[in-house]
Amino acid sequence: MITQMKIGRIGLAAFLNKIRVPGVESSTYQCVIDWAREIAAYVIAHCPRFSKVRHWIADPHTGRINI
């Protein structure tokens, strides 16, 4: 899963749209704030939907997320 995320080959909208999976007409999804491109880096580090659990992967000293 981690390798797939790093190379962008994961079942998120951006990848599914790129390989033309039926029913995935767009690489974006409705985030809490606006439409965003659904790529792993965005979902992991920025999507407000996951802000409450993001601290699990943040550096305990800096609070930064190293994707």
Whether 44 is in a domain gets the answer: yes
Q: Is the pLDDT of residue 58 over 80?
A: yes
Q: Dump pLDDT digits (tens) for 22-54.
A: 988 887 766 656 666 667 777 788 888 788 888
The rounded distance, in Å, linking the Cα atoms of 2 and 62 is 22
Structural domains in the chain (count): 1
Whether 63 is in a domain gets the answer: no
The rounded distance, in Å, linking the Cα atoms of 6 and 20 is 20
Are the beta carbons of 67 and 44 closer than 8 angstroms?
A: yes
Q: Does the predicted model carry a pTM greater than 0.75?
A: no
Q: What residue numbers bound the domain in which 52 lies?
A: 2-56
Q: Dump pLDDT digits (tens) for 7-22.
A: 767 767 778 888 888 9
pLDDT score at 4: 75
Whether 29 is in a domain gets the answer: yes
Whether 33 is in a domain gets the answer: yes
The rounded distance, in Å, linking the Cα atoms of 4 and 40 is 10
Q: How many other CB atoms are found less than 10 A from the CB of residue 37?
A: 16
Whether 61 is in a domain gets the answer: no
Kindly state the greatest CA–CA separation across the chain. 44
